[in-house]
Amino acid sequence: MNNRHSRRAELVRFRRESGGGLLTWLVDANDPSLHKAPPLLVRAAYEWCEDSPAAPRHCICCLSLMWDRREVGGLLLSKPRNAIGRAAINAVCNRCWADQPLDEIEHAATEVLRAVVPNGNFEPLWC
């Protein structure tokens, strides 16, 4: 079970491993180039999406609940620069992914990432 205590402990471990920087990807959830990401992130994204019915997710832009994989428009993938086995997945709902300007989505992504690495450097790996 993923309770508040275990989520906070996981956040502390993720933050410690980040060393102040994260490698990030902001991609369309259905983009075939997602498979160019490191296998750890591809696997984490797949598992995250498959687990959606059991654990509804929030959109990082509008905070609406996403109950189904089909409601996910974009994925924010991140991993600590030097960590081998850690990844974080967040999502943007279909409505925000289609209607929000990219700079607003990126701002929401930055806010999510700053919660993990305050004043951190976020390095996109591909456009």
Nearest to 72, CA basis, from 27, 23, 108, 25: 27
Domain ranges of the chain: 4-118
Q: Give the Cα separation of 37 and 43 in Å (integer).
A: 10
Global pTM value = 0.75
Q: Tens digits of per-residue pLDDT, 11-20? A: 666 666 555 6
What is the widest separation between alpha-carbon atoms in the chain? 36
Q: Tens digits of per-residue pLDDT, 53-110? A: 667 789 999 999 988 888 999 999 888 776 666 778 899 999 999 999 999 999 999 8
Residue 126 pLDDT greater than 70, yes or no = no
* pLDDT of amino acid 62: 96
